[in-house]
Amino acid sequence: MESPMHRKMPARLSRRHAVAIIGAALLAVRLDVRPARAGSTVAQFVEQLGDRAILQLADPAISDGEREKRFRALLGENFDIPRIGRFVLGRYVRQATKEEMAEFTQLYEDIAVLTYAHLFASYAGEGFRVKREVGDPGDRYKMVMTEVEPSDGKPPIKLDWQVKVNGDAYAVVDIRVEGASMAITQRAEYTAVLDRNGGDMADLLAQLRNKIAKLRADRNSS
């Protein structure tokens, strides 16, 4: 069957029309690329963090162990891991003891290191640029919108950073990849585990320790 869409479409749009569309699209793209506001230090913070991560972690000459060490250092300096750790436990955070909380935060960091550090080894020159910063003066949290431009010409990936503002100090609390928040996704994961084991924090910690041992073994064997 020939649909009406199929037959009529090519006839209706002239080449001149297509050129006009291309022109309009180009203009739209140009307008969209606004530089970060002058003096917007949160945006600068994220930009420098991105640059430092690439500089320190993408170096192909360093060992996996060194890469993990550097990643952990960057994480500790620039991310509010205790705050993220409390958030991802959702409602169960109120039940956790101080000791459980401390161990959870440590294991959470270990998982992050094991999951993400090695990804920088395959860095292929993707461009990282800050597009804009959102937030008002005095806000406790600000958002910095960035884009990662894949080297193979695919469309850029949107990365939004939520940054905790504490006077002059900044710490990342969440990264959103194309609208999916890592903190919310991880909270879904951990609260699902706790829902299914009846809120047993000790069991969650045991599962995390197992997972870390397994990830470590996989990393060492590959």
Partner 1 sequence: MIRIDSIERSAILMALIAAMLLGGCATRPSDPDDRAYYLESNDPLEPMNRAIFQFNEAADKVVLRPAAIGYRTVVPKGVRVGIRNFLDHLSSPITILNALLQGEGERARDSFGRFLTNTILGLGGFIDVATDASIPKHYEDFGQTLAVWGVDSGPYLVLPLLGSSSFRDGIGYGVDSFVDPVGRYIRDEYGLEGAGVRYAVDAIDWRASNLQTIDELRQSSLDFYATVRSAYRQRRAHEIRNGREPEGESTGTPGIIDFDNMDMELPPEEAPTDGKPNAP
Minimum CB distance to partner 1 smaller for 51 or for 64: 64
Sequence length of the chain is 222
Structure tokens at 95: 């039940």
Q: How far is the CB of 186 from partner 1 (least distance, A)?
A: 8
Q: How far is the CB of 215 from partner 1 (least distance, A)?
A: 6
Decide whether 51 or 91 has the Cβ nearer to partner 1: 91
Q: Which residues pair with 149 in a beta bridge?
A: 127
Residue ranges in contact with partner 1 by CB under 8 A: 1-3, 5-6, 9-10, 13, 17-18, 21-22, 25-26, 28-29, 80, 83-84, 86-87, 90-91, 93-94, 111, 114-115, 119, 134-136, 139-143, 153, 155, 158, 160, 162, 164, 173-174, 176, 178-181, 183-193, 195-196, 204, 207-208, 211, 215, 218
Q: Which of 118, 131, 105 is nearest to 208 (CA)?
A: 105
Quick check: 179 and 188 in contact, CB under 8 A? no
Least distance to partner 1, CB of residue 184, Å:
6
CA distance 150 to 193: 35
Of the two residues 1 and 38, which places its CB atom closer to partner 1 in the complex? 1
Extract the tokens encoding 84. Answer: 């993220």
Dihedral sign from CA coordinates of 60, 61, 63, 66: negative
Q: How far is the CB of 66 from partner 1 (least distance, A)?
A: 21
Please list the residues that pair with 144 across neighbouring strands.
133, 161
Nearer to partner 1, 51 or 193 (CB): 193
Are the CB atoms for 154 and 169 separated by under 8 Å? Answer: no
CB of 6 to partner 1, least distance (A): 6
